[in-house]
Structure 1
Amino acid sequence: MIDGKRVIAWTPYGRRRTYSILIRHLQRDVERGLIDEVWAYMNTDPQGQEDDIAYAHELAAEHPGWFRIKHRPEGVDLGNLPKQRYTGLAYREMTDTDTVYLRFDDDVVYIHDDAITNLVRARIQMPAPTAVFPVIFNNAIVSHFLQACGKVPMEWGVVNAYCMDPMGWANGPFAVKLHELLLDHIERNAVPDLFLYQDFPIQPGTQFSVSCFASLGSMYADLDQPGVLVPDEEESWHTVHHPLATGAPNILRGDAIVSHWSFFPQHPFLNNTGLLDRYREIADKAVA
């Protein structure tokens, strides 16, 4: 709980490989009293992901006080959509008006010690935006602002304020450099040096990769059908449709830092490095 609001961290869950890193940071912040519950919203295939599914159930058995497994709602016609489209259905469970919900991709592999507190407080203090985002390393629009503030060198390749910018979204060597920069600061205990100078508004209608953001249960409760997004694709709803409907820009919070591992064009480059092992070592120390 932070400033009288319950805090629930949730993830469209699918990959043990990276979620086993994320959960260590979330456990740290549960033990610090910042997060009340952690939800794994199962977005897995019944065949081919048996190990991933088993890991979620292992966590539920190990942490019954705060870890919850959530499933897609019954009675909803899912059609033949790819499983990535199912995640918008999760918000039907997020209508508690006294709760701040924190969404994390299952390949967020680092959360700075102050990130949860700073992000949740920003969310409470600024109720108008649809979403409040942290500084997400390996997010194209965030990389654009990091370059504008002199935190990431332009010489690595200029990133424009577009969520699928060829450099910031698809370029593997650029992603490797970003992770190396952040890991160096983590290991030197110098992450605040990468904070942005201010919060930045994200203009309504600007698509933004939703690897991590904070939202309010009261917003979902006030929808025509509580918790039902229209359209139900969560990224479009949170970054394009609802901001355009309200006229309020989303906010990029400058003093909350997390790290997102990889977009699929970057996989061949990142998977051939030892960077994920460095993130795992850091995560293990978080709850040592």
Structure 2
Amino acid sequence: MLHGKNVIAWTPYGRRDTYSILIQYLKRDVERGIVDEVWAYMNTDPIGQEDDIAYAHQLDAQYDWFRIVTMPDGVSRRPGPKQRNTGFAYRYMLDPNTVYLRFDDDIVYIHEDAITNLVEKRLEMPHATAVFATTWNNAIVSWFGQQAGVIPKEFGEVGPFCMDPMGWANGQFAVDIHRLLLDHVEKGTVEELYMYQDFPIRPGTQFSVSCFASQGSLYASLPHGPGVLVPDEEEHWHTVHQPQVTGQPNILIGNAIVSHYTFFPQRGIVCGTDILDRYRALADRL
């Protein structure tokens, strides 16, 4: 627990290759008493992802703090991209005494102070729908990082847009910023990349939801039913719809660094480098 609140880290789960890195950081923070439970919300295909599914069940058998969560009763899979189905997970997130931390399954680094700082800011800022970590390889975060001088503009200038052509789609830009972060992690100087201030995100601004903190009290009192997001696509609901309903901005905090591996337009270039191997080596040394 932190500040009298339970902390549950959850992930729309699908990919063993990157989640096997993420789980080592979550295990570290469970053992430090920062995280109480870890949930894997299964967003897998029964055919073709047998190894991914087996790995989740292996973790479930191995750790008493790990829980597999499946699609709620009474809902059916949406056609199209898998992320259309992750919004149903919030029907489980109804405890007002719990802070829920969402991590993409390809978050491959969590700074040792990130979860504590994220939860503390979440509790300090109850007006925001979501409080976002400084997620490395997130276009809007990269834009803020360039304004703050922690990401060089020589890598390519990023605009303040969720799917900016440089910050979201350019593979070489992703490689450059990952190597910048990895060099700081390996030298023990990650704090030099802190932005040391928090940034309000204008209501209605789409923002990649790779890592954020929310509270069960938000979902328990929704007008269409407990945990029922309308519209049900979670990124749109958290970053566009709900902030416009409340008139309150979401918040990006500058001292909670995590790293997101890749967006699909970047994937071909990023996966052809040693980036993932370097992240795995760091996780293996925890």
Name the residue aligned to 2:204.
205
Name the residue aligned to 1:8.
8
Find the residue that maps to 1:7 and give its secondary structure. strand
Find the residue that maps to 1:215 and give its secondary structure. strand
The answer (yes or no) to whether the contact 1:149–1:197 under 8 Å persists in 2 is no
**Alignment of 1:160 onto 2:143:** no
TM-score of the superposed pair, with normalisation by structure 1 = 0.98
Find the residue that maps to 1:259 and give its secondary structure. strand
Find the residue that maps to 1:227 and give its secondary structure. coil
The separation in 2 between residues aligned to 1:270 and 1:121, in whole angstroms, is 33
The answer (yes or no) to whether the contact 1:204–1:250 under 8 Å persists in 2 is yes
* AA at the equivalent of 2:151: V
Find the residue that maps to 1:134 and give its secondary structure. strand
Name the residue aligned to 2:86.
87
Name the residue aligned to 1:240.
240
Name the residue aligned to 1:223.
222
Structure 1: which 5+ runs fail to align? none
TM-score of the superposed pair, with normalisation by structure 2 = 0.99
* AA at the equivalent of 1:140: A
| Identity fraction in percent | 67
Which structure 2 residues correspond to residues 185-200 of structure 1 after superposition, within 5 A?
Answer: 185-200=184-199
The separation in 2 between residues aligned to 1:6 and 1:44, in whole angstroms, is 27
Moved more, 81-90 or 229-238: 81-90
The separation in 2 between residues aligned to 1:189 and 1:107, in whole angstroms, is 22
The separation in 2 between residues aligned to 1:88 and 1:171, in whole angstroms, is 28
Which structure 2 residues correspond to residues 230-269 of structure 1 after superposition, within 5 A?
Answer: 230-269=230-269
Deviation of the 1:76 alpha carbon: 1.2
**Alignment of 1:184 onto 2:183:** yes
Deviation of the 1:79 alpha carbon: 4.5
The separation in 1 between residues aligned to 2:147 and 2:78, in whole angstroms, is 43
Name the residue aligned to 1:149.
148
Find the residue that maps to 1:103 and give its secondary structure. strand
* AA at the equivalent of 1:272: G
The alignment yields a C-alpha RMSD, in angstroms, of 0.7
The separation in 2 between residues aligned to 1:254 and 1:75, in whole angstroms, is 40
Deviation of the 1:259 alpha carbon: 0.1
| Residues 125-144 of structure 1, C-alpha deviations (whole Å, 9 max, x = no match) | 11000000011000000000
**Alignment of 1:17 onto 2:41:** no
Name the residue aligned to 1:273.
273
| Residues 24-48 of structure 1, C-alpha deviations (whole Å, 9 max, x = no match) | 0000000000000000000000000
The separation in 1 between residues aligned to 2:256 and 2:262, in whole angstroms, is 19
Find the residue that maps to 1:144 and give its secondary structure. helix
Deviation of the 1:162 alpha carbon: 0.1
The separation in 2 between residues aligned to 1:92 and 1:281, in whole angstroms, is 36
**Alignment of 1:103 onto 2:102:** yes
* AA at the equivalent of 2:239: T
The separation in 2 between residues aligned to 1:77 and 1:213, in whole angstroms, is 26
The separation in 2 between residues aligned to 1:119 and 1:197, in whole angstroms, is 13
Deviation of the 1:80 alpha carbon: 2.6
* AA at the equivalent of 1:98: N
The separation in 1 between residues aligned to 2:138 and 2:265, in whole angstroms, is 13
**Count of residue pairs the alignment pairs up:** 285
Name the residue aligned to 1:169.
168
Structure 2: which 5+ runs fail to align? none
The answer (yes or no) to whether the contact 2:78–2:85 under 8 Å persists in 1 is no
* AA at the equivalent of 1:211: S
The answer (yes or no) to whether the contact 1:195–1:255 under 8 Å persists in 2 is yes
